[in-house]
């Protein structure tokens, strides 16, 4: 952990990967989103102070955490066994499935993963969308590796979809919904993964993790969590 806050509390630095609306994105140069507001509200309930946010590509967040460049990850990060071997997670704060996003023009309207065979598709590097492509399409031999495009950022993947360079993007459903509301793309179908997002913390930072879990449950019990859901997901 970094230094002490002015009031004697411990200062922590948070890391995220913008380009994943509405969880984290840049708006007029400002980092905003559900994850940003939620983690800040949770930290407010603890004895820790947030020194600031650092931005990384998604695949670099776990190394940044283990190298102690950051102390917590808030990036719509799915809790899974593979990551759990390197880092720890707080309790879950959001659930998601994967969605397959296509252009709105209707030329290509897949209804299952096997319909993606032979098509150029994309996902973000190091994500569970990429794992879905790998495990469900490439490994079983339904998609040639050369058809898969790995992007540093989901915004770039969706732009390539709009440009016609790829025919589908595999991405977390709430983010797919946001892109579909803002761009000429649409959700063709969803693929159930039942993943849960948690804040990533360093293995062994048990006191900090416990403080975040307590903060999260306070924020959930009050109106803050619902208010933030309304603000960012409009429901
Ligand atoms: N939920 C997915 C995962 O954990 C995607 C997260 C991408 N997050 C981001 N901020 N780009 O792999």
pLDDT by residue (tens digit) across 80-115? 999 999 999 999 999 999 999 999 998 999 999 999
Sorted by sequence, the CB contacts under 8 Å of residue 219 that are 6+ apart come out as 38, 41, 42, 45, 225
Residue 213 in contact with ligand 1 by CB distance below 6 A? no
Give dist(CA 128, CA 173) in Å, integer: 12
Closest atom of ligand 1 to 83 CA is 4
How far apart are the CA of 9 and the centre of ligand 1, in A? Answer: 30
Q: Which domains does the chain have, with CATH numbers?
A: 10-92+198-233 (3.40.190.10), 95-195 (3.40.190.10)
User: Which ipTM did the prediction report?
Assistant: 0.98
Closest atom of ligand 1 to 16 CA is 10
Phi, psi of 142 (to 5 degrees): -90, -10
Give dist(CA 23, CA 10) in Å, integer: 26
Closest atom of ligand 1 to 24 CA is 10
Give dist(CA 154, CA 211) in Å, integer: 31
pLDDT by residue (tens digit) across 129-153? 999 999 999 999 999 999 999 999 9
Task: Name the residue with the closest Cα to ligand 1, atom 12.
Answer: 127
SS3 90: coil
Q: Which two tokens stand for residue 209?
A: 């993790």
């Amino acid at each position: 952990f970094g230094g002490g806050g002015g009031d004697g509390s411990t200062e922590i630095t948070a890391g995220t990967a913008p380009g994943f609306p509405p969880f984290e994105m840049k708006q007029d140069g400002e980092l905003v989103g559900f994850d940003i507001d939620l983690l800040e509200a949770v930290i407010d309930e603890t004895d820790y102070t947030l020194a600031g946010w650092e931005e990384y590509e998604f695949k670099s967040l776990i190394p940044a955490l283990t190298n102690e460049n950051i102390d917590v990850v808030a990036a719509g990060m799915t809790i899974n066994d593979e990551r759990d071997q390197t880092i720890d997670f707080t309790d879950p704060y959001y659930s998601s499935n994967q969605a397959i996003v296509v252009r709105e023009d209707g030329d290509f309207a897949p209804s299952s993963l096997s319909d993606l065979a032979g098509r150029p598709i994309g996902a973000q590097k190091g994500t569970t969308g990429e794992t879905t492509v790998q495990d469900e399409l490439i490994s079983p031999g339904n998609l040639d590796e050369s058809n898969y495009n790995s992007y540093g950022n989901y915004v770039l993947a969706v732009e390539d979809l709009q440009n016609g360079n790829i025919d589908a993007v595999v991405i977390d459903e709430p983010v797919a919904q946001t892109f579909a509301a803002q761009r000429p793309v649409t959700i063709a179908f969803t693929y159930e993964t039942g993943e849960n997002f948690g804040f990533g913390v360093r293995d062994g930072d048990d006191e900090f993790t416990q403080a975040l879990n307590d903060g999260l449950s306070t924020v959930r019990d009050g109106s803050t969590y619902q208010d933030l859901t309304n603000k960012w997901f409009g429901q």
